[in-house]
């Protein structure tokens, strides 16, 4: 569920960035930034953001991360030189799993799952319109 939330948040951030660019909001540039008026500078970038479940209005309990057999907590990873600038990371609460009695069972283990997401980096740093994969 965290990956769905992350992809929805990524889409929202991308749409916000596009809206800012279309609105002509002036963002100060560092002197080393490439000129955006250059004819070779791309005016449009096509990005394919596949969303698996488009039904975002479904009601979900908010405490599902605590009710799991392998509960976790969410941590905010923020970097203004990255797009999306905020990525939420889940960390396992225990090395073992929770048994039927609600106690940690060390005969089972919680395993971290990693999910790749599209991340863009500002190149060079502090240039508002220049990103690299």
Residues paired with residue 87 on neighbouring β-strands, in sequence order: 77
14-59 pLDDT per residue, tens = 777 666 656 554 555 566 676 666 667 666 677 766 666 655 555 6
Domain range list for the chain: 1-23+70-133
DSSP character at residue 86: E
Gap between the Cα atoms of 54 and 107, Å rounded: 38
77 Cβ contact list (under 8 Å, min separation 6): 86, 87, 88, 89
72-127 pLDDT per residue, tens = 899 999 998 888 889 999 999 999 999 989 999 999 988 888 888 888 887 766 67
In the predicted structure, residue 7 carries a pLDDT above the cut 60: yes
pLDDT at 119: 87
In the predicted structure, residue 1 carries a pLDDT above the cut 80: no
pLDDT at 65: 77
CATH class of 1-23+70-133: mainly beta
pLDDT at 41: 65
Determine the 3-state secondary structure of 105 from DSSP: strand
128 Cβ contact list (under 8 Å, min separation 6): 27, 28, 29, 33, 122
Range in 1-10, 63-72, 88-97 with the lowest mean pLDDT: 1-10
pLDDT at 78: 95
Tokens (6 digits) for 101: 């009695």
């Amino acid at each position: 569920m965290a990956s769905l939330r992350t992809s929805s948040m990524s889409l929202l951030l991308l749409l916000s960035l596009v809206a800012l660019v279309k609105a002509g909001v002036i963002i100060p540039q560092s002197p080393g930034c490439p000129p955006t008026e250059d004819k070779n500078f791309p005016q449009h970038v096509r990005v394919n953001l596949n969303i698996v479940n488009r039904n975002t209005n479904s009601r979900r309990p908010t405490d599902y991360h605590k009710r799991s057999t392998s509960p976790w907590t969410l941590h905010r990873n923020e970097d203004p030189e990255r797009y999306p600038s905020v990525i939420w990371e889940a960390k396992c609460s225990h090395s073992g799993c929770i048994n039927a009695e609600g106690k940690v069972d060390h005969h089972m283990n919680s395993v971290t799952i990693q999910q790749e997401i599209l991340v863009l980096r500002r190149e060079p740093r502090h240039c508002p319109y220049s990103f690299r994969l």
